[in-house]
A = this chain, B = another copy of it.
Amino acid sequence: MQLITVGTVAFDRIETPFGIAEKTVGGAATYISLAASVFLEKIGLVSVVGDDFPEPVMQMLRDRGVDLAGLEVLKGKESFFWAGRYHYDMNSRDTLETRLNVLLELDPKLPEAYRAAPYVMLGNLDPAVQAKVLDQMDPRPAMVVLDTMNFWMDSAMPELREVIARVDILTINDAEARQLSGEHSLVKGAAKILAMGPRYLVVKKGEHGALLFGENRVFFAPALPLEDVVDPTGAGDTFAGGFIGYLARTKDHSFDNLKRAIIVGSALASFTCEKFGIDRLVEITREDIDTRIQQFVDLVDFDIELVEG
């Protein structure tokens, strides 16, 4: 395996000011694997679903190189379900309902073939579960990226801090970076978070782009202004999957290549926003991706010479 990911595989009900998706396939590990599959042939997925989860979706994942030996299917049980409603700004949302269902029984046991994978993406989950996945990796992977959210900061900070100390890169949003560090300034907050263990911090700001901190440097990648944002669900996970997929493909961990990985992740995430659920992500071509990356290049490109005073 080139990459192992753990996270939810789920059903979502999504309301936006512009439409509703009653029951669409979602989950962090779903988006992460799909995005990473753009760059990789062998991805191991660790998660759990009920037997209500559609076989055609599992086959589609397999067809894209996502190995499902690590996906437990529990007979007679229902898959994780999340329902949310986006505000008019489409950058914030309320959770309307969470049915954990099979997620309560997620006790990851990694297939033998997964344990030596060089790249690991720990999708947003109970930090204890994220740690269990790391425990089973041998040797220690070349790169581990962890995504989490405010829910775990509120409810399981000690466990979260423990697992954060073990990873290379942490991805959270700007409010979470402020919460985790206790600093309003993202610059000061990033310094505190990097002192907790990770070598790099990625701050995801949704429609406002993303920041990469590390090596006493900072890089900013914008989000592409889109004609229509239909549904941002999964954009953060798509970003993470594209980010680590690109790194696992290029095997280059320099700051310059991390910057490229951020751009690639941002480009893939922009597609996810264009339709409900995974609908857009599964239909894009390599050419679509190249065109979009070029749009990112154009979006921020400038040259400047200073004028004399």
Contacts and interface: CB of A to CB of B under 8 A. Distances in A.
Interface stretch (A71-79, A136-144, A182-190): A182-190
B225 A187 contact: yes
A306 to B, nearest CB: 5
A291 to B, nearest CB: 10
Contacts of A226: 185, 187
B227 A39 contact: no
A300 interface: yes
Contacts of A250: 307
Contact of A225 (B18, B218, B286): B218
A209 B208 contact: yes
Interface in A294-308: 297-300, 302-304, 306-307
A229 B298 CA distance: 29
Contacts of A306: 289-290, 293
Nearest to A260: B304
Copies per complex? 2
Contact of A218 (B89, B289, B293, B299): B299
A90 interface: yes
Given A208-B208, A307-B250, A228 B185 contact: yes
A302 B184 contact: no
A283 interface: no
Contacts of A90: 184
A246 B307 CA distance: 9
Given A249-B307, A286-B309, A307-B250, A302 B259 contact: yes
Contacts of A218: 225, 299
Contact of A185 (B211, B229, B286, B290): B229
A206 to B, nearest CB: 10
Given A209-B208, A286-B309, A307-B250, A227 B263 contact: no
A219 B304 contact: no
Contacts of A264: 304
A111 interface: no
B88 A184 contact: yes
A309 to B, nearest CB: 5
A256 interface: yes
Contacts of A158: none
A282 to B, nearest CB: 16
A236 to B, nearest CB: 17
A275 interface: no
A211 B293 CA distance: 18
Given A208-B209, A209-B209, A246-B307, 10 more contacts: A18-B184, A38-B309, A90-B184, A188-B228, A205-B208, A220-B225, A222-B300, A256-B302, A260-B303, A263-B302
10 contacts: A89-B184, A90-B184, A184-B229, A208-B208, A211-B225, A249-B307, A260-B303, A260-B304, A290-B306, A293-B306
**Top 5 A-B residue pairs of the complex, sorted by shortest distance between their CB atoms:** A208-B208, A220-B222, A259-B302, A300-B300, A286-B309
